[in-house]
Amino acid sequence: MVDTVIQGLLLGGLYALFAQGLSLMFGVMRLTNTAQGDFIVLAAFGAIALAAGTGAGPLWAAVLLLPVAFGAGYALQRWVLNGTLGKDPLPSLVVTFGLSVVIQNALLEVFSADPRSLDSGGLATQSLALGEGLAVGVLPLAILAVALAVTFGLQQLFDRTALGRAFRAVSDEREIAELMGLDARKVYALATAIACAVIAVAGVFQALRTTVSPADGPLLLLFAFEAVIIGGMGSFWGTLVGALVLGVTQQVGFRIDPGWGIWFGHLMFLAVLLVRPQGLFPRTRG
């Protein structure tokens, strides 16, 4: 069981990276991005294409991908998603669902349906021994460390910077914030740009850890959404905890029966919805 818990925590680190961008966009704009999983897959294929086209390793592919993702996220929010925001959440859901369909079909046209992965240079097979009969993979451990760093960085950004104060202001009282001189549309675009940069990191690690295919997006969205709901919408540390809980629960299910892992995660998600619908650590206003 110790090994099961450890492997679940490591898996939860990857889920946290899947979910933090979703948590950021909801926390600032109250926008649920139904194309989140497809953005992750798009980033994964982007990293694979960059690595193949330039001959660069995965680290340099990620470095090249991050500014592209940041700029694409800014443009997407500024000129597409901002027009869907309002009291009715349906327009943004429809638009992001449409983006999901477009991304999936574009990836199928360009890359075909064949699963692909990013060459880790042997990193995926390296492990650290923790004791007799117990070891952890270096790559999953690195993913968990990055997830912790991303969570800490996002929380510090929100709590201790002028941009974070702007995020909180437009999230809580957009009209008052605009009267005070903030450009809400620009603030929203910056939030989505940062979220897309986090999504790019998640996509690179997903391609390093396993194979990806154009149809993977909906399942990754489900994992991200469950982690956010379990932890509490708009709470970065809550999202991290929710992802870790989801990862451990799935690993316990896999331990009992290989076909039960995903199902156990869904059961945990439903249990949290029934007992604490606001999540374990919901974000407080202000």
Report pLDDT digits (tens) over 101-111.
999 999 999 99
Alpha helices (runs of H) in the chain, residue ranges in sequence order: 2-29, 36-54, 58-79, 90-111, 138-160, 162-172, 174-179, 184-209, 217-231, 236-256, 261-275
Residue 283 has pLDDT above 80, yes or no: no
- CA–CA gap between residue 216 and residue 234 (Å, rounded): 24
**What's the mean per-residue pLDDT of the chain?**
89
Residue range 31-60: mean pLDDT, rounded = 90
Other residues' Cβ atoms within 10 Å of the Cβ of residue 259: 9
Distance of CA 246 to the CA centre of its chain: 14
Q: Is the pLDDT confidence value at 23 over 80? A: yes
Q: What is the mean pLDDT of residues 190-204?
A: 95
pLDDT on residue 286: 46
- The residue-averaged pLDDT of 30-34 equals 87
Place 83 in a pLDDT band, splitting at 50, 70 and 90. Answer: confident
- Evaluate if residue 211 carries a pLDDT over 60: yes
pLDDT at 270 over 80: yes
Share of the chain above pLDDT 70, in %: 99
Residue 234 predicted with pLDDT over 80: no
Contact 147, 153 (CB under 8 A): no
Greater confidence (176 vs 244) lies with: 244
**Per-residue pLDDT, 179:** 83
Asked if 219 and 37 touch (Cβ cutoff 8 Å), the reply is: yes
pLDDT(88) > 80: no
3-state helix, strand, coil in the chain (%, to 5): 75, 5, 20
Higher pLDDT, 186 or 131: 186
What pLDDT, on a 0 to 100 scale, did the predictor assign at position 285? 52
Enumerate domains of the chain plus CATH numbers.
Answer: 2-275 (1.10.3470)
Q: For residue 252, what pLDDT is reported?
A: 92
What mean pLDDT is predicted for residues 258-269? 89
Question: Between 227 and 179, whose confidence is greater?
Answer: 227
pLDDT above 90 for 60: no
**56 pLDDT more than 90:** no
The per-residue pLDDT for range 112-140, each reduced to its tens digit, is 888 998 887 777 778 788 777 787 888 99
